[in-house]
Amino acid sequence: MKFFKLRHLTVVCPECQTIFATYEVARLPAIDLTTPIESDLHRILPDPELRSSLLAMCPNCIYTWWLSSFKEHFYLPQVVPDSPPTEPAKKFAHAVASGRKHNVHTLDRAVLALNGYWCAMEEGVDGSKFLSLAKNELAAALADPSWAGNRSRYNYVMGEILRLSGEYDGAVKCYEKVDSSAGLPTELVAKMKEFALYGNKSTVRLPPHIVGIVFNCAQPVNPA
């Protein structure tokens, strides 16, 4: 946690206007070649509270969504109610539920479910339910022709979800849909396809040169 910092702040719920206190990630080191990144393209954080602090949960109506959608308030955090205590990964389950209630697109819900899986891994608890949820939500998103996102990259992510779930045939089919528009090295896609073909569902840490290509970053600068 040396290079990460949380800040206590007060926000307003956009649903019920309740004013409450929560935390945000105030300092997050930039990604460089030494940053731990796994093959599903997520950054491993050293504490699950960091990822869960990307969300805010209202203590009154339990509306849960990305913190950036809550307006900051001038009241001191010490004089308003706190966000309800919740296990870090479960906060993402509440966010998916809020998304469904408000008919948010399945792609947004898939991203939340994936973050729930990653948070569970960082928390050291079983994340299989989140992985299954992410699979269902992302499958629905990819079947929807109305959105114009980077389908190639999301096909790669879907391949990773299926591989990690032990659904190797489906994973291979998804990897085969990945093209240059995904912005991913062919070396990476080929290697993960190979893992699926051999029935390997292990998590995989990306080597530095792949991190550099995917995230367009360089070696960290050592202070003098």
pLDDT at residue 222, as a whole number: 52
Mean pLDDT of 77-104: 97
Confidence of residue 91 (pLDDT cuts 50, 70, 90): very high
Mean pLDDT of 190-199: 98
Percentage with pLDDT > 90 across the chain? 94
How many structural domains does the chain have?
1
Phi then psi for residue 75, to 5 deg, are -60, 150
Q: How far apart are CA 212 and CA 122, in angstroms?
A: 23
Q: What is the DSSP letter of 149?
A: S
The answer to whether residue 197 sits within a structural domain is yes
The predicted-structure confidence for 106-121, as pLDDT tens digits, reads as follows 999 999 999 999 999 9
The answer to whether residue 103 sits within a structural domain is yes
* Stated pTM of the model: 0.94
The answer to whether residue 221 sits within a structural domain is no
Q: How far is CA 147 from CA 108, 176, 177, in A?
A: 11, 21, 17
Nearest to 151 by CA among 171, 189, 180, 172: 180
The answer to whether residue 63 sits within a structural domain is yes
Q: How far is CA 17 from CA 143, 190, 201, in A?
A: 36, 49, 44
What range defines the domain where residue 183 resides? Answer: 5-215
The DSSP result for 126-146, as a single string, is --HHHHHHHHHHHHHHHT-TT
Nearest to 25 by CA among 43, 3, 58: 3
